[in-house]
A and B are shown apart, each in its own frame.
Chain A
Amino acid sequence: MHNWLSQDIVEVLESVWANEERGSSAVAEISQEAKTEVTEDLLAECEREGYLTRNGDGEIRLTALGRQTAGEIIRRHRLAERLVVDVLGMTLEESEADACEFEHFLAQGVTNAICTLLGHPRFCPHNHPIPEGECCRQIEAQVNSLVASIDRLEVGEEAKVAYVSASNFPRIRKLSSFGITPGVPIKLKQKFPSFVIQCDETQIALENDIARDIYVWRKSDDL
């Protein structure tokens, strides 16, 4: 719904949200936080569109509509950060630019898919909460997440590799040279003393540190 929102309004809504998270609603802080120049015109426009209200003391608050809109923007941004950090293996500094880009082109459906892909993470890499989406609320009903790291699987369970969380890049590539890459079906054969997974025609032994890095789609009747 906010695809037609101007970049400036998006920035304002994001900073108001972040400000409210910190328990503040001062205009001055919002101006400081936003990556765009917060002009009187811009705030007035936001108010006119019904996203926020201002009172005489210079306090800014999100309206219900504003809260919903900003929540979705924030959600996309923080999921994008998770994606960039977990799946692409970048540092937070490096990721900032990319996360912003993602935030703008992720469509609703994709956002939920990525949220599911990442196992419905609750916090972004900066440890800010990620607003829940439709998919997260549905998942609460299910006992098990669709995406889980291998160490959460049961012995004998079959799954499909979703992504490898990149605590270090050589590890990802090593796993990929053994054939463990997104989309590959695997079967957990053993958990102790070391993990053993079957992948293609090959059995691969892993230590638990590595098993924890491999996120898989669990087989579910819904899929």
Chain B
Amino acid sequence: MSTIVQIEPKKAPIPKDKIPRLLLVGNPNVGKSVIFGYLTGKYVTVSNYPGTTVEVSRGKMKYGGQEWEVVDTPGINSLAPQSDDERVTRDMLLDAEPDVIVQVADAKNLRRTLLITSQLAELKIPMVLVLNMMDEARHRGIEIDSKAISELFGIPVVTAVATEGEGLYSIFKSIVHAKVPNDPLEAQRNRALANEDFLQVLRPKTDKPLPLQLAVEWLQTQDSGFRRGAELWLKQVADGELENDAATRTRIRNCAARLEEARNVFLEKSVSQYKKVIPSVFRESNGAGLKVGMACLIAGLLLFAYTEIGRLVGLPTPYGWLNSLMDRSVIPGALSFFQNIHLGWLGSLLFGKLADDGKAYETGLLYPAITQFLVLIAPIMFPLAFVLRRSERFAERLGHWTRDWRTGAPLMIVILLLMYEFVGVIGAGTLVDALENNVFNVLLTPNLQKLIPAGILYDFFVGEYGLVSVGLTYALAIVLPIVMTFFIAFGLLEDSGYLPRLAILSDRVFRVMGLNGKAVLPMVLGLGCDTMATMTTRILETKKERLIATILLALGVPCSAQLGVILAISGSLSGWAMLTVFGVVLSQMFLVGYLSSKIVKGKRGDFIFEIPPIRVPVFKNVWTKTRYRMKWYLKEALPLFLLGTLILFVLDRVKVPTPWGRLSGLDMINNSLAPLVTGVLELPEKTAQVLVLGFLRRDYGAAGLYDMVGQNLMTPVQIVVSLIVLTLFIPCVANFFMIVREQGTKKALIILAFITPFAIAVGGVVNLILRVLKINF
């Protein structure tokens, strides 16, 4: 029987004439990217794998005079693919003809590691195993016998803590020693198939050695894409013979079950042999420091709660005291210091200034952001980080509290409030004011206006729909600070391991809408930027889920810029009115989600994923991710802002003679929408323009609405109705293009054609109900 799977191990060849290729393979979140970054430095390109939306990073590495191509593959749990990500990695392993595979693994999860190693062993490609995250393993008292594993597979095994830089150089050195792994499962496999003459069931296509177990596993899936690997080796699959052959399918299944069992036996044995757990000594500090830290944390939480409630009911709060202290002594001092060194503008940019009337206070970049941060955020964040670092046990408990609904729900509220303080108050409030008032509307636009002579150039850059006065100002002064603070907050949540817990808490809610808890990630990210969130719907497993999530993002999730403006407007509305807005939007999301879960064909993906431990976010990770997202925003979204402004400018300028006189394109669109807006929604005519602006950029629309409210043009009911319509309304242009990219033009147009009338209809109905019930807020 051994003839079936006997394969000649090949030597590790590195052809002289081509650049050898190295593939990084491993489970998700095991530090592949960090190692990739180390190996390749900065010469990296990120591109989509052909035919998919899965991103693959490639880079170049040099070691010992030899240049290598390094590819970072998407994380996998098994080489038998279950998701697009896994499929891409599997296909790359088969097609890209890698010269060396570096498997990166989480040392503490030896079983999952060896599962992949044993699968890779079937492919007979030279490889190295990196046992990463050794520090976490050590903390848990886990010892791994890497030498024995190295002997078992006959490959180099390197231990590393990539985030700390430990062991990275050894990876470099090990690559040239990569060996074709032994296949320790061969004997078990032969025994499992002793009664099954496998080659009579499956005919190999070529004389290439058959990765038997993998082929059998690939055959198990119905999805043709996932089975592709089997086609490369098996004639019957390529010819489609197997499709109708029930008897053969049954035999294959029998084999699969037997092989799987054989592998499980092997994995059990290996794990018990190579992994020793020494009863873990928790890294507990000697008590005193920890107690102080805990006390500070509790004090910080109390201060937070008191300030939040105090501000609501108008009690004096520490925040108020600190601000008045700053107003009285610190700020005037700082301002006069800057004036003395002839940098008065810098002083007011940083610390703000009194308005010309001597009463109102204009914010600066640092103040009052700094007092907000000091009073509300720092007293919780810093003690929390301190305690988490000191006590593994506390980290574990916090991990527990955040996923149990009884403690998780209140903690979620605290976290969302903290996020609101950071993004909504500091980002959307202080920073936006400072940039808008001190830079764009004071320094940039007026000075440009002085420079450019009146005429078309003036209008083009700094006019009513000017590229600088409107496009750039909105993009950089209003949206950028909000998006940036949001991405920082999101990065912190991401790196701390909190987001998967949010998925656990919300799974049941999302199930009503045909999704599962994993959808919470794109939804929360949507609160930052819907366009980017639409892209991240890729993490959802089935097409159905991706489509529903995309619809919901487009329909109901307000992005940070929009949310900022909505919250600003909320100042002029009663609590009930705001509740109505959010209630209606949420209920429509549920309704549409529920209906589309019934209409859209397909299945909901299984809700199963790994929960990482709660840990203190690594600053570098958060910074890298925020930087990457900011870069993306500036590259992808900023041009669309400018394009949107440009379209507006053109629509405004080009005038066409009509029976009603010479009208601009903008007038015509507004006029055609106006009957709908004034008739159905009973809103001021100017709102039509806001809605048009809203399509070019949703937050534009919100900002336009903000202006109208500021000018007292609307009643509370009208504000509520227009907020609802605007939130539900068509996604911004950028979001629409992203939907086209992810879902195809046809689906994107259907979504557009559904949401537009739907938003207006909902607005009309809400208006009607409010009028009938005579609710004026």
Contacts and interface: CB of A to CB of B under 8 A. Distances in A.
A179 B111 contact: yes
A89 B253 CA distance: 9
B606 interface: yes
Contacts of A94: 246, 249-250, 253
Contact of B220 (A93, A169, A202, A205): A169
A97 B254 CA distance: 12
A47 interface: no
Contact of A207 (B115, B246, B507): B507
Contacts of A87: 257
A50 B48 CA distance: 74
A200 interface: yes
Contacts of B112: 177-179, 200, 202
Nearest to B612: A203
B82 A207 contact: no
A109 to B, nearest CB: 20
A203 B762 CA distance: 43
Nearest to B136: A201
Contact of A173 (B80, B246, B271): B80
B268 interface: yes
B99 interface: no
Interface string B209-246: 00000000100110000000000000000000000001
A176 to B, nearest CB: 7
A19 interface: no
Given A88-B254, A196-B504, A171 B606 contact: yes
Contacts of B613: 203
Given A175-B608, A192-B405, A98 B250 contact: yes
A27 B606 CA distance: 51
A182 interface: yes
B77 A205 contact: no
Contact of A200 (B111, B217, B405): B111
A187 to B, nearest CB: 13
A204 B606 contact: no
Interface in B264-295: 264, 267-268, 271
A81 to B, nearest CB: 14
A200 B505 CA distance: 23
Given A169-B220, A205-B500, A210 B253 contact: no
Nearest to B603: A168
Nearest to A89: B253
Interface string A87-107: 111100110011000000000
Q: Is the interface of B mostly helix, strand, loop or mixed?
A: helix
Q: How many residues of B sit at the interface, in one of the four size bands?
A: 35 or more
B606 A176 contact: no
A93 B140 CA distance: 49
A56 interface: no
A204 B109 contact: no
A58 interface: no
B330 interface: no
B403 interface: yes
Contact of B405 (A176, A183, A193, A206): A193
Contacts of A189: 400
Given A174-B77, A202-B610, A90 B220 contact: no
B264 A178 contact: no
A116 interface: no
Contacts of A98: 250, 254
Contacts of B500: 205
A145 interface: no
B701 to A, nearest CB: 36
Given A174-B77, A200-B112, A194 B607 contact: yes
Between A88, A170, A182, A192, the greatest number of chain B beta carbons within 10 A of the residue's beta carbon is seen for: A170
A181 interface: yes
A190 interface: yes
B142 interface: yes
Given A178-B77, A179-B109, A196-B403, A207 B220 contact: no
Given A201-B140, A205-B503, A177 B608 contact: no
Contacts of A173: 78, 80, 82, 217, 220
A177 B111 CA distance: 9
A193 B109 contact: no
B179 interface: no
Interface in B589-621: 606-611, 613
A210 B217 CA distance: 21
Interface string B104-142: 000011111001000000000000000000000100101
B111 A190 contact: no
A174 B80 CA distance: 9
A198 to B, nearest CB: 10
18 contacts: A88-B253, A88-B257, A170-B221, A171-B606, A177-B77, A178-B610, A179-B112, A181-B260, A181-B264, A184-B111, A196-B403, A200-B271, A204-B608, A205-B403, A205-B507, A205-B607, A205-B609, A205-B611
Given A193-B504, A196-B403, A205-B517, 4 more contacts: A178-B610, A189-B400, A193-B506, A205-B403
